[in-house]
Structure 1
Amino acid sequence: MTGELDGEQRLGSGIVLAVAGCVVGLVGVFLTVRSGLSEWPFAIVFGFLIAVGEMVQFRVDTSRNRAPIATSASLAYVMLRGPAVGAPPEVAQIIAVTTVATLAGLLPRAVAGLPWDVVVSSRRVLSVACAAITFALVTRDELVWNGSWTHAVALTGAMLLAVLSAGVVDALVGAGQDTEHFNRPFPAALRDELVVMTRIGLAMGITGMLLAAGTSLLGLWAVPLVIVPLLLTQFAFRRFASAQRTYRTTVRSMARSTEIAGFSSPGQNARTAALAVAIGNDLGLTPARMEALEYAALLSGVGQLALADPSPGGASLLRTREERQRAAEIGAAVIERSGVLDHVAEIVRHSNDPYRHGRANDSSIPVESGIVNVALAYEQLVGEGSGQSPDKAMESIGLGIGAEYDPVVVDSLRRVVGRGFRF
């Protein structure tokens, strides 16, 4: 994205989380060194799995890297308790092994120049520490996998509670970070984090539970039985992530066609998309709707290629209402032919509708259309070569509130600009 907020707004909690993760990890290492490492074969095997998981982490969406093997292995190490284990690991040892293994996994990525994020890794250490404390509090030394149904039910409940505590803590922290970095409403950010937790987090947690139960009963022979399917799942996720990146690249290439043909100024579509995403964040749209909004903003000018001549400087606002709406309809038809961007096509189709005659009377028109309309107008007033100040542009857009522009979207734009958004 070309648009961004001031640098100070991107720091803050990330530094606090990194420091907190380091402090918790150092305390765990210190206590473990002082008391000695128990059941070292399990510590080495699970530490190795965590390190490998960190090394092969990947990014499925645009939010942050995922390390399902590292997460599942660290949670499994928390919940080891059975006849094959002997003495279950102490909380301090769990934290120490997770911290050292995480650093061991991040180091090769840093040396190789691959993406890594110490804040995300610190969050994982903190959530594992929370799970370890929770599990230790709700279990007793004699509560092990021993064939007893009562023990099995109690241990399963304790495992679920530990996994949920780790997930909820991470979701709260993630929601706070999204609120700080992207100015999303905290309830909306928490909603999105909890959705991710139920879809991905619980899958990793349940895998950790299976790994812990199998290892507790069968010993380290059970590790390959659970990890191999997880590796295959991670491979499938990586393929999906690669396809998503290719998809985004294709959309951006399509968007550049209007710039090459002179129907929009260089970088105009990317700037419009950056502002549209900032407004969508402010309004708390879901990730799926945010993705569709970004694509619609990038492709909103595709229909202009069917018009006779480019607008001067790519300023589509200089065209007549009929020309703009015809271009939007043509653009929507082009996007629909892809077969996978139907919602994006609907956003583009109504992106030039006046609010008074559109969404004000038809609630089925997506609010994303109004966002694209306002973002494009602001970009053409303030973007490169236009010369207007943000205050002057807001004044011009304000004159169209309720008639041309959605009042809710304009209020959101005012907040985004007031927080220091710049192209």
Structure 2
Amino acid sequence: MRRLLFRGLELGVPVGVAAGLLLVALGSSLSQLAGLGAGTLVTLALFVVAIALGETARLTVLAGRLTAPMSSAAALALGLSNIAPDGDAAVGADVVVVTIGLGMLVGNGLLEATRRPVHWSGLAARFLGAAVVPFLYRSVRFDGATLLERSADWDSQRWLVAVVMLCVGSVAMLVDLTLQAIVRAGREHGPVLRSIVDEIRSTIGLATALVTSGTLIALAAYALGVVALPLFLFPLVLTYFAVQRYASIRQTYRQTIGALSSLTDRTSYTVPRHAQRVAEISMAVGRDLGMSQRELTDLEYAALLHDLGQVALREPIPQGATVMAAPADQQRIAHDGAEIVRSTGVLDNVATIMEAQITPYRQVREFGQDLPMASRIIKVANAYDDLSGPEGLHADRAMERIHLGLGYEYDPRVVDSLTRYLDRRGRSTAPSA
């Protein structure tokens, strides 16, 4: 039931809630929009443009999660700024929410027009996080006044205004990251609490930069007006290009490992796409067991390269099925592959995982050996793919063989996770009678 709930969250609940909030805000803001001055409307329009352009400049972080840092910073700044000229009524939270929503929709409409993917659940999570700012800063009253009204009275204590803005922005970012984590947990069938912790830990640097940038823009707006928006977004633009370059390097790195993993396929030491299938199964099991993103990255690399040591064999193993090889041959394959990887000087942890992948689970149970969870996962995933045959035609037989080694060769927790993964794929995993 819990997994169905998370799956529903990933598929439509955030989008539905965001759409409902936007419609409600639009209905309640129409009268105020009609009464705003030309200067305020121009400022709102500039924020719409900034948010829309920010949506088109996205970054990929945390294994595929798309984020738009410039859009998020501009949305935070709008929620924290008093953009109405002196003498005009303060712009209400509903108008700010509509402006943020309009900017995000325009930006993602441009993405759709250029045939770039739009992840609506992630967009909805970011919108709901940004909507927290105007709600807390402009609507909620503390001792009879909103934070926006109180900030106007703290001219001599701008540091206090900055602290309040940072706190509000941090709450909004926490809501955003929590919703993003729930969406990811539903999509990947992972534990939600671990996903939230991993999301926050993996993006804390970027989140801090966004909250700080939004606060700086809002504070500078008191002296500079709307000019503060492009002025303080410019450092984020430079950061965007730097992060894009880093992401490109990481992608090239991943492609290089993928190409190296196909070496055993091309030399007929293993069946086609064996390493890719083992990596796919391993990643699904790792997510199900709540591994962090850093651990998942090492797991993926080790799974892709787990059979690399076979290139040192004089004669290929039939079908490349290491699970059927003698223990001494398995040990040599794991050791040779680990030494090849270790020689790069940058993947020592991956090499350790690869070298331990043939260690039976009883070494942990009986002797307390420190066997990495990633190694246990690869051992089970590799055995399943070796035993199930082409297209998984012998999945039942493979699971039967794995269950015979339960607690001796294979970690029961990993096997249970594999069973859940196969159930989700609609395969029968029950051992034959």
Fold similarity call, TM over 0.5: yes
160-169 or 254-263, which moves further after superposition?
160-169
Letter matched to residue 99 of structure 2: V
Kindly indicate whether structure 1 or structure 2 has the higher relative contact order, using CA contacts under 8 Å at least 6 residues apart: 1
Select the residue among 26, 31, 34 that pairs with 2:31.
Answer: 34
Q: 1:167 to 1:140 in 2, by over 3 A?
A: closer
CA distance in 1, matches of 2:171, 2:254: 35
Q: Do 2:379 and 2:410's aligned partners in 1 also have CA atoms closer than 8 Å?
A: yes
Q: Do 1:83 and 1:216's aligned partners in 2 also have CA atoms closer than 8 Å?
A: no
CA distance in 1, matches of 2:361, 2:352: 15
Q: Is 1:110 paired with 2:117?
A: no
Q: 1:12 to 1:141 in 2, by over 3 A?
A: closer
Q: How do residues 22-421 of structure 1 correspond to structure 2 at under 5 angstroms?
A: 22-36=19-33, 38=36, 39-81=40-82, 87-136=89-138, 137=140, 138=142, 139-140=146-147, 142-144=149-151, 148-150=155-157, 152-357=158-363, 361-384=367-390, 387-390=393-396, 392-420=397-425
- Residue 93 of structure 1 aligns to a residue whose secondary structure is helix
- Residue 280 of structure 2 aligns to a residue whose secondary structure is helix
CA distance in 1, matches of 2:185, 2:6: 10
Q: Do 2:43 and 2:83's aligned partners in 1 also have CA atoms closer than 8 Å?
A: no
Structure 1 residue 359, shift from structure 2 partner:
7.5
21-30 or 322-331, which moves further after superposition?
21-30
CA distance in 1, matches of 2:101, 2:190: 31
Structure 1 residue 360, shift from structure 2 partner:
5.4
Letter matched to residue 163 of structure 1: G
Q: Do 1:84 and 1:219's aligned partners in 2 also have CA atoms closer than 8 Å?
A: no
CA distance in 2, matches of 1:143, 1:218: 20
344-353 or 357-366, which moves further after superposition?
357-366
Structure 1 residue 141, shift from structure 2 partner:
5.1
Letter matched to residue 334 of structure 2: A
CA distance in 1, matches of 2:315, 2:9: 48
Q: Do 1:268 and 1:383's aligned partners in 2 also have CA atoms closer than 8 Å?
A: no
Q: 1:387 to 1:9 in 2, by over 3 A?
A: farther
What runs of 5+ residues in structure 1 fail to find an aligned partner?
Answer: 1-5
Spell out, residue by residue over 1:62-100, the C-alpha distance to the aligned partner (whole angstroms, 9 max, x if none). 231110000000000000038967644311111111111
Structure 1 residue 24, shift from structure 2 partner:
1.5
Q: 1:246 to 1:87 in 2, by over 3 A?
A: farther
CA distance in 1, matches of 2:148, 2:71: 26
CA distance in 1, matches of 2:295, 2:253: 16
Q: Do 2:283 and 2:300's aligned partners in 1 also have CA atoms closer than 8 Å?
A: yes
CA distance in 2, matches of 1:386, 1:31: 56
Letter matched to residue 190 of structure 2: R
Number of the residue aligned with 1:17? 14
Give the superposed CA RMSD. Answer: 2.5
CA distance in 2, matches of 1:311, 1:87: 78
Provide TM-score, normalisation by structure 1.
0.91
Letter matched to residue 404 of structure 2: L
175-184 or 43-52, which moves further after superposition?
175-184
Structure 1 residue 279, shift from structure 2 partner:
0.9
Q: Do 2:6 and 2:182's aligned partners in 1 also have CA atoms closer than 8 Å?
A: no
Letter matched to residue 109 of structure 2: L
Q: Do 1:80 and 1:89's aligned partners in 2 also have CA atoms closer than 8 Å?
A: no
Aligned residues: 416
Q: Do 2:69 and 2:210's aligned partners in 1 also have CA atoms closer than 8 Å?
A: yes
Structure 1 residue 357, shift from structure 2 partner:
3.2
Q: 1:69 to 1:331 in 2, by over 3 A?
A: same
Q: 1:36 to 1:307 in 2, by over 3 A?
A: same
Structure 1 residue 266, shift from structure 2 partner:
1.0
Q: Do 2:6 and 2:183's aligned partners in 1 also have CA atoms closer than 8 Å?
A: no
Q: Do 1:58 and 1:67's aligned partners in 2 also have CA atoms closer than 8 Å?
A: yes
Q: 1:112 to 1:90 in 2, by over 3 A?
A: same
Q: Do 2:198 and 2:293's aligned partners in 1 also have CA atoms closer than 8 Å?
A: yes
Structure 1 residue 293, shift from structure 2 partner:
0.2
Structure 1 residue 347, shift from structure 2 partner:
0.5
Q: 1:270 to 1:9 in 2, by over 3 A?
A: farther
- Residue 36 of structure 1 aligns to a residue whose secondary structure is helix
Q: 1:421 to 1:272 in 2, by over 3 A?
A: farther
Q: 1:72 to 1:162 in 2, by over 3 A?
A: same
Structure 1 residue 219, shift from structure 2 partner:
0.9
